[in-house]
Amino acid sequence: MPGKRPISPHLQIYKPLINMVMSIFHRISGSALYFGMFFLAWWLMSVASGPEYFGFVQGVLASIPGRLILFVFTWALMLHALGGVRHFIWDTGRGFELGTVNWMSWLSLLGSIVLTLLIWYFGYKMIGAF
């Protein structure tokens, strides 16, 4: 029955605004991290399993696809963390002015990219790339 009735406009109707895009990213990054926790469990189990299996898992994670996945997870974590900070501010009843909402959204996007690159800079430093 609901299929026959007119429904309210959904996502594809609206021009994408930054606060709306970041809200969607917050949910997508959260979902990604949900499945990413599996990799953390896998890696921890590999350390607990012994040098041979640890070497195998390290090899998988250090491969190009492995690095790509870890890079995306790093970005998802930073995006979700900064989005969370934004929500803490909103929880106090502050930051609801349109201008504030917009710059906070942009800041969390830019911040997540900067933090991700920083983390990977230090990661590559650990293996002596610099």
Partner 1 sequence: MSMRTPLSRTRGLGSAKEGADHFWWQRVTAVANLVLGIFAVALLVSLVGSDYATAKATLASPLVAIMLLLFVLSASYHMKLGMQTIIEDYVHSEGRKMLFIMLNIFYSVFVGLTCVFAILKLSFGA
Tell me which residues touch partner 1 (CB under 8 A): 27, 30-31, 33-34, 37-38, 40-41, 44-45, 47-51, 54-55, 62, 74, 77, 81, 84-85, 87-88, 91, 119, 122-123, 126-128
CB atoms within 10 A of CB 79: 25
- What is the closest distance, in whole angstroms, from the C-beta atom of residue 4 to partner 1 in the complex? 16
- Nearer Cβ to partner 1 (48/99): 48
- What is the closest distance, in whole angstroms, from the C-beta atom of residue 12 to partner 1 in the complex? 16
Q: How far apart are CA 106 and CA 98, in angstroms?
A: 13
- What is the closest distance, in whole angstroms, from the C-beta atom of residue 10 to partner 1 in the complex? 12
Distance of CA 91 to the CA centre of its chain: 21
Task: Note whether 108 and 79 are within 8 A (CB).
Answer: yes
Task: Note whether 28 and 72 are within 8 A (CB).
Answer: no
